[in-house]
Structures are given as C-alpha cells and as structure tokens.
Amino acid sequence: MQLLTVGPRLVTNATTTPLIITGVGLSKAKALVLGAPASKSLPLVVLDDGHAFARLPAGVQLGMAPEAIVEASLEGGAGKAELRFINDTGFPDLVAMAATGDGKTLVVVSTNEDRVYALDVATRKVTPIPVGDGPSAVAAIGPTSVVVTHLYAAELAVIDLAAAPPLVTRVPGPKLAASVVVDGELAFVAEHARDTVSALEVNAGFKERWRTPVAMNPRAMAVTSAGLAVGSLQTGEVEVLEVATGKVLTSAQPKPGTPIVGGTTQKYSQYVMNGKAPRALVASPKLGRLFLASIGPNIGPNPDQMEVSMNGGVASLTLPSKSTSLAWQRHLGFGAGVTEALAIDDSQGLLYASDVGLGLVRVIDAKKLARSDADAKALVQEIALPPPDRFPHVRPDEDFNVKGRAGLSVHSGPKAVVLSTDRKTLFVLNRFTGTVAALDVTNAAKGKALWREQWPVTEVLQQKTRRLGQVLYFADLGRTAMTCDACHLEGHGEGVLFEKTMPLRIYRSTTVRGSRETPPYFTPASTHSMGETSKIVGSRNRFQNPVMTPEEIEALTLFTSLIPTLPNPFVGEDGAPLEQLTLPDGSTGSPRRGLTLFEGRAQCATCHPSPQFTTDQDLATRDRFIDVGTPRFMPLRPDMQNTRFEGFGTPALVGAWDVFPMLTTGLAGLKVSDDGSVVVNDRFPLRAAVEHWAPSHGRADQLSEQERNDLLAWVLSL
C-alpha cells in the first residue's frame, strides 16, 4: 500500500476541502494521516486500488503563520505527499456591507472569519455576530434585520438586530452565493456553482419562488423598472430577468462603436470586442438608467496594437422599454484605477463610485452621464480615503503622489459604499485597513464632499506581509489602470483580453487560484515562479513607475501564492465523487465511470495527471508547449494579431467547473459574431473543449454519448 499523490496541493483552513488520493493497493487503505500542525486522521472513501477520496475539515489551527506545509501519509502504508495549508481564518477579509432599513446599523461581512460585524452608526460600537461557513453578501430585510448569504454553507443567516443579543436564524439557501438583493417580499440570490439567480419569498421562510440559469459567475444585481438586472463576471454581459417569473427578457454587452468618454481607450470605441465584469450595478428610477462599474469595454485587436485596455469607470445603460432596448449608452472612463462599488442619490442625481485601485470615492453627476450629449464633465469630485496612521505602507511615503503616481489612499481598498437614510453621509468599507469611513456628502453636488472620520471594524494586521501583498494586488500606484485585480478579478479569470506583447493576440485571462503549483506562466512561458511573475508583471503594470522593491515583490508573491482554488461543490459530503451528476446542459453522467475513461480510452491523463491535472505540476514534466489540435487564435481581425504559434501550455483542471471560457484562445465558450463582437457561444465550455477538437485533443471521439457525459462529470468533480 503506497501513497502517490494528494490534491489539490494548496488548501484553505477556512472551509472543508475534498481531496483526491492516488496510490497503489489503496483497497486496503483506511485513513489519510496529516502531520503537524494539522495532526488529523481522515477516513478514506476507497474507489479502487488506485483511487481514494477524503474531506479536510474546516478550522485547522495554524497559529499566526500565513501558511504551513503538512505531510500526508497512509495509515500503515508507504509514501508521502505534501499539502500546503493557507491560514485564511487568521486573515480577515471584509467583502460586503449593507445598512438596516432604519439606517441605524451597518453590517459588515468578514468572509474568512465566518462572522459579520454590526456597527451602531450613532455610538460606533462594533458587535461581532457568528454566522455560517463563508459569509459572502448582506442585504436589509426591514428596519432592523438583514439576510446574509454564504459561499460554503447551503443556508442564509437572518439576523434580527433589534434583539439583545442579535438573534440569528438559519434557513436553507443557495450554496456558493455571490450576492443578494432584496426588493419588497423577494430576496434575489445569485450563485455560481450552477450559475443561477433565485427569487426567495422573505415572508415565507425564504421559500424559493423561481430559479433561473444566467450567464457565468453572476454577481452584481439591481432591481430596475424593467426587471432584475444581473451582471456576469466572466462574460461581461448584463441580463434582465422578469421579476415575477425569472424569465430572461433581454441581455446586452458593449459592442464595436460603444461610446467611451475619457481615459486612454476613448479613441478605440470602434474596436470594442465585448464587455468586462460588471463589478456593481445600481438603478436610477428617476433617470430611467442602469449604471455599471467596470474596467471598461474590452478593446480588441486594433491598428495601434494598444493592448491590456483597462479604463476603469462607470457606464450608463438604457433600460428596455417600448422605445428603447438594453444597451450601453456610454462608458465614462477615468483613465486610472478600478471602479468597484456604486451608490446613488436619485433625489439629487448623484452617483458615488469607489475606486479600489486608487483608494478614492468619486462623485458623478448622474444626470449628465445619462444625457445623450454627456462628456467627461460628469465627474464632480474625487475624495481620497487615507489609511489609519498605524497602518503600514508598501513603500516609503516619499514615493507616493510624485511623478504622476497615486497617493497613500491606495492602502485603503474601498470595497462597498452605503448612503445614509438622510443622504448626508456616505459610509465606505475599507477592505485592506479593516475600517469604515464616513464622508460628509451634504454639499456633494457642489463638489464639496468632505472626509470626516473612520473607525476600525476588526484587526487586520495579524499577517502583515500578506496584507501588504493584498494592497499591491489591487493598487494602481502608477495610475495606469492596470492592476493584478483588473485582469484577474478576485484572483480568478475574467473572459478574454488582447494582450501579452509577443505574440500579441487575444488570450483567455487565466485564474490565479492554485497557480502556485503549476508554473511556468504565460504563453509562451516568460516567468517560471510566482516571485518572478510578481517582479516582472508588478513593475510592468506600473509602466516601471516605480519599479517594484524587493519588499513589494515578497509581499505580492506571498499574497498571490495563497489564493486557493474553490472547494469543488459537485462531490459528496465525504469528498468522494457522486454516483450520478447533472451536467450544466441537463445531461447526466457518472463521475466514477468517467474517472476510468479519463485515465483510459479518452487519454486525458497523459497531459492532465493527478493531483493538479496538468504536467506543469512537476519539474520533470514542466514547460512543455504542445499542439493538441485546438484553435490557435481567435479569428477577430486576424491581420491585427500576431498569430505565430509555438504550442500551448497545459492548464490545470482543478476547479474547471468554475472556468469560463476555456482553451487559451477562449474559443470553448466564445465566438466571433457578425458585428465584430465576441459573444457567448456555449454556456458549457467543457463539453466544447472535450468534444469539438477530438481526436487531437484527447480521444472523446472513441466514446459513446453517455461515456462522454461520464467523462465530463468526472472533470466537473475535480
């Protein structure tokens, strides 16, 4: 009995994680033994002599260190493997904020701590409240109550803040929930395991009224006069759902010719190929508009070879009606930073937009932005959000606010904004510094909004270097609009980009999750470690203004190295693959039979071996660029792309269930439309990746229809 591999190799201690174990003679194996500091014995579900499965428990104690290497072995067996545990429970991450209906309490979500914080606006008292596994979003459901969604727990936490102590009631809800919006008797929840939005009846125990499949990785939502608007992080489109039934009424994304006002991409509107992730949506009933925060319309191949085309800002969309369709009216670009959150004062026609890259709040004249002749004058004011005095800085203070660089406010990380009920105060959640700031916006229409104060929510410097790495991941110090987060939103992918200098063409924006285990990076390979990537890309993002210091490289490397793949939601509670799994297109397959095909007749394991399911996971097989018959470039204005081909790297399949589009070109899931835009072609890209390019890319052509479904079910379980 011998252990060969355990994966995924990079795991979080914030929640449970399924493990895949390979070895020899596993039919006799009973338990997987984890050494210190985990010190656990995990029962195994044995499938056959070569494969077993287990589930890591949540909350493994790792002390104060950001990570720990744990040795794994079989009870009574030979062979060892390593797991790298990430100490996420010791790294508070404040990701969302909402106010109760009466405006007296702010509720802040701390996802890694499994708690929310209630902040009394009058007294500044902060009360921690335990909730479920991985809280993700929050919304008010009346004067004194809120509802909290979760990433990992299939439940909602309903919190009555009028009770002493606050009363938490747990009810069933969607797992892997990303956002929640409440409108009257309905709570709308977006989740990205199955990529659906559901309507839950607030006054009936959150009973599900309807559930609708939507575009991949839905997050930002807003109730409008035309229906529920939903934004997709991985396609860049916005869909509008009928509130009563969930029916998809219409959808839209930026297209060639979408007007861009301000910023470096203004003259390239005719080369827009699609949209980038809607980071926030807010509706204006008074103006009849939907406002959207993003890094801007996605510029494709162009004669100037202008690449990596971020231009963070706010778009105005017309809503569907008898006389208008859902469409991008224009994008107001600021030329720097990353617009993250929005709040609207409809009575005054003011839009408040936080910039996570620069640490600013912008005041925008929504009336001007919504006009047909709007221009850059819609920007009224910018307010910098200073970090607390005690918060460390990523560089010496004299390196900020010089040579066109950003100021110290880059350390704040404004993640959410909430307007007070009297519309005189704007509350800002600062993710990196762990504070809530208050801005006096009484005279914001005149450009006289004022910084007032901030107060701490929780201590955030337990892992100081990692925290500074988080700042650097999101910061736009060089005011170029290029940040790590702009290409890899929250450490994940975000559609396709025209990028990479040589060969300059359209590529899929890959995920950072788990990538520590699978160098080299880029196509063809240009960096061979996370540290080298931080050094080269970190400085390039700033246009070398300034070059990264060794301390910055260390911090950014640590942060990016500790971004894990999300635990797979399609396996059993014991960590083992299910007997039957429903695929995204409604077909069913057997993951267990699919495993045999994956390692056998389909010939997938040749390039995608366990535990990370890529040959790049091990030094001996790393850095092999191959041609497997998949498309070599996206056929959009090919004369403006460098189509030189030297082979593709082998992507890891861990977390493939949450990847869109697929293939280096993105052509598993996307296609080029007749109008020159890139649109969704297949909402189940894995099927396209497996079936459309056989026999060169695996041998799915040798499988029956049911066998292909079984194979896909196994890959979805990785």
CB within 8 A of 493, min separation 6: which ones? 234, 508, 509, 510, 511, 659, 660
Residue 203 has pLDDT above 70, yes or no: yes
| pLDDT at residue 500, rounded to an integer | 77
| pLDDT at residue 605, rounded to an integer | 94
| pLDDT at residue 708, rounded to an integer | 97
For residue 339, what are its two tokens? 């617009």
- Taking CA atoms, 623 is separated from 195, 518, 520, 649, in Å, by 33, 10, 6, 7
Cα separation, 80 vs 95, in Å, equals 37
- Helix 550-561 to helix 530-541 angle (10° resolution) is 120
* CA atoms lying within 13 Å on the CB side of residue 348: 21
Cα separation, 507 vs 509, in Å, equals 6
Instruction: Report if pTM > 0.85.
Output: yes
8 Å CB contact between 55 and 43 = no
| pLDDT at residue 270, rounded to an integer | 97
Residue 187 has pLDDT above 80, yes or no: yes
For residue 49, what are its two tokens? 């002599």
Cα separation, 141 vs 138, in Å, equals 10
| pLDDT at residue 164, rounded to an integer | 93
CB within 8 A of 459, min separation 6: which ones? 92, 434
For residue 334, what are its two tokens? 């600021």
SS (H, E, C) 309-330: CCCCEEEEEECCCCCCCCEEEE
Report the topology of domain 2-86.
Immunoglobulin-like (2.60.40)
Residue 352 has pLDDT above 70, yes or no: yes
Cα separation, 676 vs 653, in Å, equals 31
Residue of 44, 21, 14 lying closest to 31 (CA atoms): 44
Residue 254 has pLDDT above 90, yes or no: yes
| pLDDT at residue 525, rounded to an integer | 87
Residue 287 has pLDDT above 80, yes or no: yes
Cα separation, 84 vs 357, in Å, equals 30
**Residues facing 414 on adjacent strands:** 430
Residue 376 has pLDDT above 70, yes or no: no
Burial per residue of 14-51, b for 16 or more beta-carbon CB atoms within 10 angstroms, e otherwise: bbbbbbbbbbeebeebebbbbeebbebebebbbbeebb
Residue 329 has pLDDT above 70, yes or no: yes
Q: Taking all residues of the chain, what is their mean pLDDT, rounded to a whole number?
A: 96
Residue 374 has pLDDT above 70, yes or no: no
pLDDT classification of 7: cutoffs 50, 70, 90? very high
For residue 7, what are its two tokens? 């994966």
pLDDT digits (tens, 9 = 90+) for 71-88: 999 999 999 999 999 999
Torsion of CA 364, 369, 375, 376, to 10 degrees: 20
Cα separation, 517 vs 653, in Å, equals 12
- Taking CA atoms, 300 is separated from 69, 259, 312, in Å, by 42, 15, 16
Cα separation, 58 vs 442, in Å, equals 46
Residue of 188, 237, 184 lying closest to 215 (CA atoms): 237
8 Å CB contact between 699 and 690 = no
8 Å CB contact between 253 and 247 = no
Cα separation, 595 vs 713, in Å, equals 9
pLDDT digits (tens, 9 = 90+) for 556-614: 999 999 999 999 999 999 999 999 999 999 999 999 999 999 999 999 999 999 999 99
Average pLDDT over residues 461-480: 98
8 Å CB contact between 473 and 465 = no
Average pLDDT over residues 216-229: 97
For residue 579, what are its two tokens? 């007997």
Residue 388 has pLDDT above 90, yes or no: yes
The total of other beta-carbon atoms located within 10 Å of residue 586's CB is 8
Domain boundaries, the chain: 2-86, 581-716
Average pLDDT over residues 650-654: 94
SS3 percent helix, strand, coil of the chain, rounded to 5, is 15, 35, 50
Burial per residue of 646-684, b for 16 or more beta-carbon CB atoms within 10 angstroms, e otherwise: eebbbbbbbbbbbbbbbbbbbbbbbbbbeebbbbbebbb
Residue of 274, 281, 261 lying closest to 218 (CA atoms): 281
How large a percentage of the chain has pLDDT more than 70?
100
Torsion over CA: 59, 62, 66, 71 (sign): negative
Residue 256 has pLDDT above 70, yes or no: yes
pLDDT digits (tens, 9 = 90+) for 415-450: 999 999 999 999 999 999 999 999 999 999 999 999
The domain made up of 581-716 is a member of CATH 1.10.760: yes
8 Å CB contact between 301 and 641 = yes
Average pLDDT over residues 678-692: 94
Element (H, E) at 687: helix 685-691
Average pLDDT over residues 327-347: 97
Element (H, E) at 191: strand 186-191
Average pLDDT over residues 502-515: 94
For residue 100, what are its two tokens? 């109760």
| pLDDT at residue 321, rounded to an integer | 87
